[in-house]
Chain A
Amino acid sequence: MTAHTDKEFEAQLQKLKGMILAMGADVEAMISMAMKSLKENNLSLGQQIFIKEDEVNHFEMDVGDLCIKILALRQPAASDLRFIAIGIRISNDLERIGDLAVNIVQRVEKLTHASIPQVHDKLFTLSEKTQKMVNSVLNAFVDQDVELAQKILASDDEVDALNKDIHQSLLTVMQTDSKLIPSAIMLLLISRHLERMADHATNIAEQVIYMVKGQDIRHAGKSTNSLS
């Protein structure tokens, strides 16, 4: 996005960017808190996550309102139009990531065995990768860094593979010790939530590429549209 001569319009676009990033900051904190609650079996963090979830939900609505207002009043074109269009989509993805962090805390509450050693390390490796993806995709959004966004798309495969590996390990655990089944199911869901978060980060990376290059790379191989 280049600077505009119309200062008011420029200020509105900056405000939109600021709101998306503030939402991103909350979401990143939510994932950290959720994983901390799992690591330390600390349920008191749940309350803080619910407060953040409220903030994120409000941000999503505010971002939507502002985007509609800009579209109605300014009739933006080219890169500005793309920025506003992806603003709505990114806020949706971020809100979903926030919801998934809340889901993780809800699963932690139901864990009877805080840790199953066979998957413990793998699960935290998965969460590290996911957190890195969410952090990097927000950096790519700030710096309009297409290269970084493309790296994020590539790392989604690693997350998927790790998720499958965790599923397999948990399946073996459940087959060998039936007492661990309730906890294993919860860990299975947590792993799934983390993998879904990474998918949303991938969606945002695709939006960043679209914003900068005007190239829609979603469902690549089926169709490619260009808007310049």
Chain B
Amino acid sequence: MKSLFWKIYLLFVGVNFLTVFFLSFQFSFSFTRFFIALIPSFFIGFFLSHYFSKKITSLNISIKNLSQKMENEHDALTEEKNRLATILNGMMEGVLVTDAKGVITLVNLSFQNMMGVKNCLGKTIIECIRNNEIHSIITQVLSEKKSYEGTFSFIIATLELHCIVHSAPLIANGLSLGSVTVFSDTTQIRKLENIRQDFVANVSHELRTPLTSIIGYAETIRDGEMTDKETTLRFIQKIEKNAIQLKDLVNDILFLSQMDSKTLHLNIQILNLKNLATELLQDFQSRVNEKKINLSLDFKDDLMVKADERILRQIMTNLLDNAIKYTPLSGEIKWMASQQKDQICIAVKDTGIGILKEDQARIFERFYRVDKSRSREVGGTGLGLAIVKNLVQFHGGSVSVQSEVGFGSTLSFTLPL
């Protein structure tokens, strides 16, 4: 700034000097006119320069002030812009702003993640999102200049989204500047709602199935089968079997509910895994022999784990029970345990029918059955693996499944050391 001031000052002195010199030169007549012209040029030039220098100084101060003010305003604007960008990107809802022609001028991170799009700015809605419903909503808001709110299910490429959409026009002085649309993703809420509905429906169904049988057999006995002792006994055995199934189911549901409400108390002890597994195996021996299954145990003698014995028994019983149920005659089951870094991994590998990739993620859900008819045929409440998952997580571990259709499955869980 200082050097600029001196440059302007010297320029003025020079220009004034030359102007006055030229004028004086024009009005002088003798040979001495050069020298005569020189004297007033010097004084008048100096006077004018001095006068303008004051003006320039004040101009310089004004420019300095203006520059400072602009710099402050720029900083404030940048700060405001960053603050808005942080707020927008921190929002759970997707935000989409367009200009009056429907060209996207702003989107936040949530919007891009929700719709699976990027590089939206400067594109039209249909170029960016490629969904005709969203395009129609925003076009309508822009043309009618009226707000819009609704719940929508969209398909964008392979994504299926459920959203509450709120779109409003941006209007200033009666002129449309564009639109702002907010998308609240309700896909997860909807999914949970479906799971809840499915659970209620499943519980009712699972409870009703053995009840219907019990009522059916009881009615048959009452209506005249009592005379035949053998048939009556057979029917009573069926009633007993169904009643036991009902009891198991109610116990399982209560057990899960206990875990959900965190009222299950753990009695952690140091346990020898091989001893526990050998003990458990005796309970299954008759079933294993019946199906001629080759069951092998691969546990190190000194493998110890910190867990609640009752719960660990339940986890291993459920997994082994499942493997035996779904392994065909003369199949093979390997029961393995190993130490991996700071955790123990226990796996049950069978040569059963296997589980489809899309079912693998769901087998730990409550009442999820891969093959409903087959599952009922082999018995079970549909809660076994859900209980395993909950119990393992209760111990701070995790469950996993690897399977190939036709070749068998490996269900494993980890427990922290």
Contacts and interface: CB of A to CB of B under 8 A. Distances in A.
Nearest to B160: A32
B290 interface: no
Q: Which 10 A-B pairs have the closest CB atoms?
A: A29-B155, A25-B130, A117-B405, A135-B157, A21-B126, A121-B357, A142-B127, A32-B155, A25-B132, A131-B158
A148 B231 CA distance: 73
Nearest to A117: B405
Contacts of B405: 117-118, 120-121
A138 B156 CA distance: 12
Interface of B: 119, 123-124, 126-127, 130-132, 135, 155-158, 160, 354, 356-358, 405-406
Contacts of B123: 142
User: Considering residues B132, B160, B354, B356, which has the most beta carbons from chain A within 10 angstroms of its beta carbon?
Assistant: B132
A26 interface: yes
A28 B157 CA distance: 5
A165 interface: no
15 contacts: A18-B127, A25-B135, A28-B130, A28-B156, A28-B157, A29-B155, A32-B157, A32-B158, A32-B160, A36-B160, A118-B406, A120-B405, A132-B158, A138-B130, A142-B123
A142 B124 CA distance: 10
Nearest to A18: B126
A128 interface: yes
Contacts of B119: 143
Contact of B158 (A17, A21, A135): A135
A131 B406 contact: no
Contacts of A39: 358
Interface in A105-128: 115, 117-118, 120-121, 124, 128
A162 B397 CA distance: 38
Interface in A132-166: 132, 135, 138, 142-143
B406 A124 contact: no
B235 to A, nearest CB: 35
Contact of B126 (A25, A29, A117, A120): A25
Contact of B135 (A22, A118, A121, A138): A22
A118 B131 CA distance: 35
Contacts of A21: 126-127, 130
Contacts of B160: 32, 36
Among B123, B130, B135, B354, max chain A CB count under 10 A is at B130
B119 to A, nearest CB: 8
B157 A115 contact: no
A105 B72 CA distance: 64
Nearest to B130: A25
Interface string A20-37: 011011101100110010
Given A18-B126, A124-B358, 18 more contacts: A18-B127, A22-B135, A24-B130, A25-B131, A28-B157, A29-B131, A32-B155, A32-B157, A32-B160, A36-B160, A39-B358, A118-B405, A118-B406, A120-B356, A121-B357, A121-B358, A135-B158, A143-B119
Contacts of B155: 28-29, 32-33
Given A22-B135, A118-B406, A128 B158 contact: yes
B157 A131 contact: yes
A142 B130 CA distance: 10
Interface centre among A21, A22, A39 (most CB of B within 10 A): A21
A142 B157 CA distance: 15
Contacts of A132: 158
A24 B135 CA distance: 13
Nearest to A26: B132
B351 to A, nearest CB: 15
A117 B354 contact: yes
Contacts of B130: 21, 24-25, 28, 138
